[in-house]
Amino acid sequence: MTPSTIALLVLLVVTFAWSGYRYWRVLRPLTHAAAEDRFDQPLRRVWGVITNVGGHTRLLRIRYAGVFHLLIFSGFVVLLTALVEEFGRGLFPGFSLAAIGGDTWIALLQDIFELLVLVGLAMAAYNRYVSRPERFRGSNQRDATIILILILSEMASLLLRHTFQIAEGHDPSAAWSPVSSALAGLAGTVGLHGAAAQPWAEVFYWTHILAILIFLPYIPTSKHLHIFVGIPNIYFRDLGPRGTLPDADLSQPSVGVKDVHQLGWKQMLDLFACTECGRCQDVCPAFAAGQPLSPKLLIMDLRNHLREQEGIGPRPTAAGGSQMLGDAISDDTLWACTTCRACMEVCPLHIEHIPKIVDMRRQLVEQGRMEHQLQDSLASLARYGNSFNQSERLRSRWTRELGFTIKDARKEPVDVLWFVGDFASYDPRVQRLTRSVARVMTRAGVDFGILYEGERNSGNDVRRVGEEGLFEMLAQHNIETLKGCQFKRIMTTDPHSLNAIGQEYPRLGGNYPVLHYTQLLVELLERGDLKPNREQEIVATYHDPCYLGRYNNGYFAPRRVLELLGIKLHEMPRCRENSFCCGAGGGRIWMDDGEIKERPSENRIREAVSLGDARYFVVACPKDAVMYTAAVQSLGMEGRIEVVDAIELVEAALEPEVAPVAVA
């Protein structure tokens, strides 16, 4: 054994031992974490890894960053061969990959990709130090710099090693290594060829080895851990329906999560997978409003807290020092979330921010750590089944001005059972839209009925606030009422109710086909039950509600309605799955606004107005109608854009009802 072999062996053993210990310290909490069942549907899971990792689907949504990441990533994959070669040669003299093309096409690929990685690094450095995107605000810049430097060292030393090997003159892969050969030529011009090149080859060999051996133990407490954790994290992602939250066992004395060790293993794995890229932060409406929530910082803070608890990381403190709930993550941070799901939609590593937030909220609710307006709303929901502190009897008061009676679905069978929703029933600003829906459906001849006082708040946002017991109480009441009814399907004007009934009620025994009213409108329009006058020269923009769009894939129906009305749709930049939340979800509408820079709803209206030609801002959710109308008023833009619900456009396009003419 040569001295260098022994040296390499010793280095390897020491590094692996030291790294192994560090990886173990960092990842050990996973072994004690709560169970989670993510072992189903392996083929589907693998496919997700292939598209997300191989295809870089989410990463490429930010084109520039996706491209340079792809360069660096694919470089790493290809250069694994170089890793094998370098260590193989170092430990086993004579080791070579020549038999499988190590001197030919593998060498070519290595050469090209070394260059590509360097290009990628240059692009990355430009991004981080010159462009400085906002999403990096709060991310650990030092960690990022160290990583870029280490990658640069690896690439540069690898390339230079090949260069000087070729310059030495005995490298069989020279013909297949254009970049290294060119550099070798350059080296030759300063006399570094032949024997003079050999020591440099050695130097860069050891530089490369050292770079790797320094990187390896650095990774566990760096965001670069994602290279190991990322693929498992994507594999074990949540395949369940988007609109459900993790179950809570109410028979236990306590629900929710207040200590980081109560997290399930996949929830914890998320913390190690985060690359601090900030895509989630960029799309978060709470963050944009200046509230103390950034999904990225939430994950980073949880990760840092876990490290602290384990006594490892930048600033290890004694275990059991600060609390997760309240110290590491503040109450205000948790309450600021609207549960719009934009963060989870864009995260390249499929990190699950919302389940963690809701699980922590469950503890806050249990401990009574809620602002009083929220407490009052919950008390109202518990007592009256609505958040308006109004009697159940008044739920159907909006029907009085209709001039006709709507069927009581509790008493007679109907084709469509219309679950009206709280805001549509009680809020005077929305009641006129509800009446519009009633009139249009009657004109179309739909056989529908409502539950009158039998309806309660669907419980969707109560669940998102973390009050599981109240959610179950409301849901069970609604399901009991529905059990006594005969209908073919449920229709609702409220996407939050849609989500609750369609996604959350099944596990409580309520399995009903449910559709959004825009979907019903498409049916009625396409079938000819509604005949709109299509001669309208209107340009409108449409806002995708979070719980219809992202949560329930309801992008098509509202757009089809507009199309069938002959309305020209001018999409906003943030549309479909990138829609920007109005700020009312997750129980936020029951909370005080607090200190905000700019309301998300106002941010959104300005986006719509900047389109230039959109006369109408079309909504399909009662809370959106309320929030955006208020935003237009507070921005003083009444003349520039008008908030209309899809149903208003439909009704306006119908021929006025013709009264029977008396024969003279």
Chain residues in the site for other proteins (CB under 8 A): 250, 253, 255, 365-366, 368, 370, 372-373, 375-376, 378-379, 382-384, 388-391, 393, 427-429, 467-470, 472-473, 592-593, 633
69 vs 456 by CB, closer to other proteins? 456
473 vs 569 by CB, closer to other proteins? 473
C-alpha span between 337 and 584 (Å, rounded):
10
142 vs 383 by CB, closer to other proteins? 383
Q: How far is the CB of 429 from other proteins (least distance, A)?
A: 6
Closest CA to 465 of 346, 584, 580, 594: 584
For residue 515, the cross-strand partners are: 491
Asked whether the beta carbons of 483 and 458 are under 8 A apart, the reply is no
Q: How far is the CB of 115 from other proteins (least distance, A)?
A: 59
376 vs 529 by CB, closer to other proteins? 376
371 vs 607 by CB, closer to other proteins? 371
Closest CA to 90 of 200, 191, 11: 11
252 vs 405 by CB, closer to other proteins? 252
- Cβ neighbour number for residue 537 with a 10 Å cutoff: 8
Give ∠ CA 341-132-216 in degrees, rounded to 5: 80
521 vs 625 by CB, closer to other proteins? 625
Q: How far is the CB of 492 from other proteins (least distance, A)?
A: 23
Q: How far is the CB of 397 from other proteins (least distance, A)?
A: 10
Tokens encoding 272: 């190690």
C-alpha span between 520 and 586 (Å, rounded):
26
Tokens encoding 111: 């050469």
Q: How far is the CB of 372 from other proteins (least distance, A)?
A: 6
157 vs 601 by CB, closer to other proteins? 601
Q: Give, to the nearest 10 degrees, the angle between helix 226-235 and helix 265-273.
A: 140
Q: How far is the CB of 238 from other proteins (least distance, A)?
A: 25
294 vs 601 by CB, closer to other proteins? 601
- Cβ neighbour number for residue 533 with a 10 Å cutoff: 11
Q: How far is the CB of 361 from other proteins (least distance, A)?
A: 11
- Cβ neighbour number for residue 457 with a 10 Å cutoff: 30
C-alpha span between 306 and 300 (Å, rounded):
10
Q: How far is the CB of 579 from other proteins (least distance, A)?
A: 24
8 vs 378 by CB, closer to other proteins? 378
Q: How far is the CB of 31 from other proteins (least distance, A)?
A: 30
Q: How far is the CB of 618 from other proteins (least distance, A)?
A: 22
Closest CA to 226 of 348, 354, 77, 356: 348
Q: How far is the CB of 368 from other proteins (least distance, A)?
A: 5
C-alpha span between 311 and 321 (Å, rounded):
10
218 vs 388 by CB, closer to other proteins? 388
Q: How far is the CB of 384 from other proteins (least distance, A)?
A: 7
167 vs 370 by CB, closer to other proteins? 370
**Helices within 245-328 (DSSP H only):** 265-273, 279-283, 285-288, 295-309
Asked whether the beta carbons of 227 and 220 are under 8 A apart, the reply is no
C-alpha span between 417 and 492 (Å, rounded):
8
Q: Which amino acid makes up residue 475?
A: A
Q: How far is the CB of 643 from other proteins (least distance, A)?
A: 14
For 538-561, what is the HEC assignment? CEEEECCCCCCCCCCCCCHHHHHH
Long-range contacts: 401-404, Cβ < 8 Å, 24+? 401/435, 402/435, 402/438, 402/439, 404/442
Tokens encoding 268: 């914890």
132 vs 383 by CB, closer to other proteins? 383
Q: Can you spell out the DSSP letters for 597-640?
A: SS-HHHHHHHHHHTTSS--EEEE-SHHHHHHHHHHHHHHT-TTT
Cβ burial of 387 (10 Å; 0-12, 13-18, 19+) is buried
C-alpha span between 238 and 303 (Å, rounded):
20
Q: How far is the CB of 438 from other proteins (least distance, A)?
A: 19
636 vs 660 by CB, closer to other proteins? 636
Closest CA to 387 of 290, 457, 479: 457
